[in-house]
Each structure stands twice: as structure tokens, then as C-alpha cells.
Amino acid sequence: MTIIAPSRRALIAAGLTAPLAAPHVARAQTAYRGEYKMTVVGNRPIPFAEGAFKWAELVTERTSGRINVRTYPGSQLVGGDQTRELLAMRQGVIDFGVFSTINIAPQLREVGIFQLPFLMRDHRAFEALIRGVVGRDIFSVVERREIVPLAWGENGFREISNSKRTIRTPEDMRGLKIRFAAGAIFNEILTAMGANPVQMSFADLQPALSTGAVDGQENPINLFLALRMDTLAQKHLTVWNYVNDPLIFGLSRTVMNSFTPADQALVRDCAIEAGRYQIELTRRGLGLDGGDDASMRDLRTRGVEVTVLTDAEKEAFARITRPVYDRWAATIGAELVRKAEAAVR
């Protein structure tokens, strides 16, 4: 007699076996890596780096270590070359990052909007750009590169210092060897003023100032103070607000997509909180809106001659660099520049 085996469906209905297990979806959502790598230029106590450490710490703490983010300062994941961080994230070497818009502008031309000389004269103009349509457009550009931007930070307005003389007019720039980090536009801006621009990494800046290989540099005041540039012969500092350097808190799209929706929201909230904290650190002590001016007083206590340009004096620099502005506006995109100028107005 032929015995016909009951179908699997019949056995399941009779409760004699279990249905095939579903794919391990839940496990895939929670089987995170043991460590996620965060990159940032510089190190504590620089506000730029503090923002990255804060983001990593918030995410790690609020997930009880489920998403364990470790910060690698000094751009060490790319051998100290801060201009390679964006590419390294796209290649999977880096998971999280707090990026300077100056460092990523060579790969993302639209981000160069923030390097147009004297587009932003104060923090109100800066906020109008990053919090409005320009900021949203920039985030869209970043997203097309498989990176998820979550929050803005601020490295600060870049002021100029040197070991030779007071800078109050474009003529005072003539012949000075000035270090800049990256980006052909900075070479053109400094050249238009009659200076001799020298490109070098952040890691090489301090020894170059110590030996006199360069006469000066342009960086935010918080960085000047943290690195004690007054001890590196930088005795003349001019506050001219010629460009600001927004920071972007972002992570790899692949990494973001590997997190559960709840964890994605948590990572985003932590980035926004860290960004706000980082901006507060950057602006602390600058005497904005009549507030605390401890940083400015600290500069003078250290024997630094601080020259704050008037609007008319800034305009002289803006006029001489206008051809550079116009050339780069065409490269960045006329429509984006129009939006930026409208926001500033």
C-alpha cells in the first residue's frame, strides 16, 4: 500500500511542526558593529573637535553603547590630510564626521558659497544662510554624495594674524606669506591682496609659524587662543570677518540605513544638540551683541594687537577681491549665489 506523506501545510495546521522561520530581520536591525569611526580635524579643546566628541558621546551614552562611536581627532584616519575625509567616508573608511565646508568645497563646488569673500559680514548673515534655503540646498548636494547631513556647526569667522605688522588696508597685505588650509579660492583671494599664499595642512601650521616659514595665517579666534598662536610670533590680529567656515555633522548613508528608524532619529537629535553646543563654544567670549568678551580681552592680555575693521575698511578689501568673488560665483552656481545674496540682504 502506498503511503502518502501529509503536506507540510497539513502538519502546521495540526500543530505538529512550525512554519519556516522568517528572515532574521530583527537581528539585522540590531546587530550593529562594535565600533563606528568619527573623524574630525584638530583635537580638544578646540570647539571644532569638541562638537565631534560631543556627538559621539551623546550617541554612545543614549544607546547604552549599542551604537559605540569613537572619535579619531587630527584627521588621523586619513593620515592627517583633512581634505580627504569626505572621500574616505564615501569609501567606507569613515562612518561619522564633522566636516569643515572649506575642506570639502574642492569636491562639492556648491559648498564654496561660504568662501566667497565678504559675502557674510556678521553672524546674522551667517545664520541667514545656514538656517534658510541655502542651507537646505547645500544639504541636498551633500546627500547626493551618499552622505547624510544632520546638523550645522560653526568653526567661526576667519580672522587674519601675522608677525610683521598691523593689517588695516589691502596694501598692508603686500608681501606677507600667509598660510591657508585648502581651496584655490583662498589662493586667489590672498593673491588679489598682494600676499604670498602658502597652502599647508593644519598639522604643519604650528611648526611653520614657529620657524618663520610663513608670516601669518587666517583662522577663527577660538583656534588662535587654543593653539597659543601669540607664542608663535603672531602679535598682530585683524578682525575682518572675510569668510566663515560652517561645519556639517554627517554620516555615511550606508551606516545610517543600517540603523533602526528609532536609532536614526536618535543619531539625528544628538547631532543637532552637539551642533548647537559647538556653535556656542565657537562664539563664546567674542562680545557678540554686547555680551561676554573674555576672548577679546584674553588676546590683549597676551600682548596681541587686535585691530577691528570698520564696515568702510572691510569694503576696501571687498572691492579688491570682487573679481575673485565674481569668478567663483560662476563656478558655484549663479542661482545659489543669488539666493545667498538675497538671504544676506
Q: Distance between CA 228 and CA 118 in Å, rounded?
A: 27
Nearest to 35 by CA among 1, 77, 75, 7: 77
Q: What is the pLDDT of residue 182?
A: 79
Continuous segment of H or E residues that includes residue 305: strand 305-308
Q: Which three cell numbers stand for residue 38?
A: 568619527
Q: Which amino acid, 311?
A: D
End-to-end CA distance of the chain: 94
In a domain, 88, yes or no: yes
Continuous segment of H or E residues that includes residue 295: helix 294-301
Q: Distance between CA 123 and CA 129 in Å, rounded?
A: 10
Q: What is the pLDDT of residue 54?
A: 98
Q: Which amino acid, 122?
A: D
Residue 308 pairs in a beta bridge with 239
- Per-position pLDDT tens, the chain of length 345: 444 444 444 434 443 344 443 343 333 445 899 999 999 998 999 999 999 999 999 999 999 999 999 999 999 999 988 889 999 999 999 999 999 999 999 999 999 999 999 999 999 999 999 999 999 999 999 999 999 999 999 999 999 999 999 999 999 999 999 999 878 999 999 999 999 999 988 778 989 999 999 999 999 999 999 999 999 999 999 999 999 999 999 999 999 999 999 999 999 999 999 999 999 999 999 999 899 999 999 999 999 999 999 999 999 999 999 999 999 999 999 999 999 999 999
In a domain, 10, yes or no: no
Q: What is the pLDDT of residue 338?
A: 98
In a domain, 76, yes or no: yes
Residues 232-264: b if buried by 16+ CB within 10 A, e if exposed: bbbbbbbbbbbbbbbbbbbbbeebbebbeeebb
Q: Which three cell numbers stand for residue 15?
A: 500543530
Residue 46 pairs in a beta bridge with none
In a domain, 21, yes or no: no
Q: What is the pLDDT of residue 24?
A: 38
Q: DSSP letter at 182?
A: S
Q: What is the pLDDT of residue 180?
A: 92
Burial class (CB in 10 A: 0-12, 13-18, 19+), 44: middle
Domain hosting residue 82, numbered range = 33-283+293-344
In a domain, 172, yes or no: yes
Nearest to 215 by CA among 239, 201, 235, 185: 235
Q: Distance between CA 321 and CA 187 in Å, rounded?
A: 11
3-state secondary structure of 152: strand
In a domain, 13, yes or no: no
Query: 181 phi and psi, to 5 degrees?
Result: -80, -55
Q: What is the pLDDT of residue 30?
A: 55
Task: Determine contact, residues 164/216, Cβ cutoff 8 Å.
Answer: yes
Task: Determine contact, residues 279/130, Cβ cutoff 8 Å.
Answer: no
According to DSSP, the β-strands at 216-219 and 177-180 are: parallel
Nearest to 57 by CA among 96, 100, 103: 96
Q: Distance between CA 322 and CA 116 in Å, rounded?
A: 9
Task: Determine contact, residues 139/149, Cβ cutoff 8 Å.
Answer: yes
- CATH assignment of the domain containing 60: 3.40.190.170
Q: How many domains does the chain have?
A: 1
Q: Which three cell numbers stand for residue 186?
A: 583662498
In a domain, 14, yes or no: no
In a domain, 6, yes or no: no
